Structure 1
Amino acid sequence: MATGNVAYPTITIDLILDRLTTKDVLKAVLHSILFHRLFGTVKPQTFEVLDVTMPGVSDAGMEQLVNEKVDGLWKGIENGAHKRGQIRVTFSEKRPKKSWFQVYMGEEDVPWEQWVINAELRQPKADSDRQAFNARLADTLTQALHTMLTHTSSERGRAVVPLITNASGISPFPIDITVTVGGVEVG
């Protein structure tokens, strides 16, 4: 799961999407990740995508953030030569930052978990291919949900969550969502 010298888990979800479902699928997947990793008071909602019901977060700020990131990826893929993009959701905790001589230098965000959504845009060649394409995508979404549930409820998935010392707001931890298309950050 973890890659390189990264000390925190990285969970990867690979999606092959088409023009009709890209935005809905990405919004549902992002919302589902946030639903499983926000520890404040979360008002739930659901997303129905290709007959797969996915949990989400009913919060204006989170919805705006998700929409901005999905739109950024969509515009990058739609307007560019690259038909692949990536959305990274990084959960961090605030820790005191110290200098060489143990002098307190403010706070820094230290990641404890990252989710990587790899999205590739493809078009079914004919209408007859669409059913098979949609069925594969529905299976992928079901598997992604299973991955989320398995990871967040596992011993390791629970162990990486830092102590919650600030109970205000929807998330006690900083969340960073970055979008890249063709290796370039967008949005």
Structure 2
Amino acid sequence: MNTYPTVTVDLILDRHTIKDVLRAVLDAILFHRLFGTVKPKTREVLGVTMPGVSDLEMEKLVEEKVDLFWKGMEGGMSKRGQIIITFSEKRPKKSWFQVYVGEEDVPWEQWIINAEMQQPRDRDRQEFDSALSDALTKAIHTMLTHTSSDRGRTAVPLITNATGISPFPIRVTVKIGGVEIN
């Protein structure tokens, strides 16, 4: 059982919006969980302004994972998938006899983006876009509520390494139909 917080964002997307929406949501999560010197940016998606991070390494990571998700959705039979972002800290790893044998990543928080791809009919487009816009607004609200809550603040371990944009390892996993893809 996980002892760390898990935050879930549920989205219903279509072919036209899937990449922009996923980029925006990943960017917003990173914006709220990177603790180095962050150069902010914004992204406008369906009338919702989403925060983001202007950093080449993070932008490359986001683009890579969104493309992987897109290819998995296009090539697979399942139209449901997840992008899971796990924030960890490095801790000393000890063997049975309390002998130090290196470091291990210990998760302290996980964000799960559940995405389902649908294709609305043309006459339903406005209603679909409005519902997606509401889901994005709810996602931002969830991020703000969690990161400013006691549980969200206390989940963050002590920052002992101030180099780079993130003092903690970040792992982003893409799953389509429950199967991890690389």
* TM-score after normalising by structure 1: 0.96
What's the offset of the Cα at 1:83?
A: 0.6
Equivalent residue runs for 1:33-52 within 5 Å: 33-52=29-48
Instruction: Name the CA distance, whole Å, in 1 between partners of 2:119 and 2:17.
Output: 11
Post-superposition shift, 1:159? 0.4
Paired residue total: 182
Tell me the secondary structure at the aligned position of residue 177 of structure 1.
Answer: strand
1:106 corresponding residue in structure 2: 102
Tell me the alpha carbon deviations over residues 28-80 of structure 1, each in whole angstroms, 9 at most, x when there is no partner: 00000000000000001111000000000000000000000000010000111
Moved over 2 A (4+): none
2:158 alignment partner in structure 1: 163
Alignment gaps of 5+ in structure 2: none
The residue that corresponds to 1:31 in the other structure is 27
Distance 2:72 2:150 in 1: 37
The answer for the alignment partner of 1:75 in structure 2 is 71
After superposition, what is the alpha-carbon deviation per residue over 1:153-180, rounded to whole angstroms, capped at 9, x for unaligned?
Answer: 1111000100000000000000000001
Match of 2:137 among 127, 138, 142: 142
How far the C-alpha of 1:152 sits from its partner, in A, is 0.2
Matched-pair identity in %: 73
* One-letter amino acid of the structure 1 residue matched with residue 100 of structure 2: Y
Letter in 2 for 1:184: V
Q: Which runs of 5+ in 1 are unaligned?
A: none
Aligned partner of residue 73 in structure 1, secondary structure: helix
152, 157, 168: which is aligned to 1:173?
168
Within 1, Cα distance between the matches of 2:55 and 2:35?
13
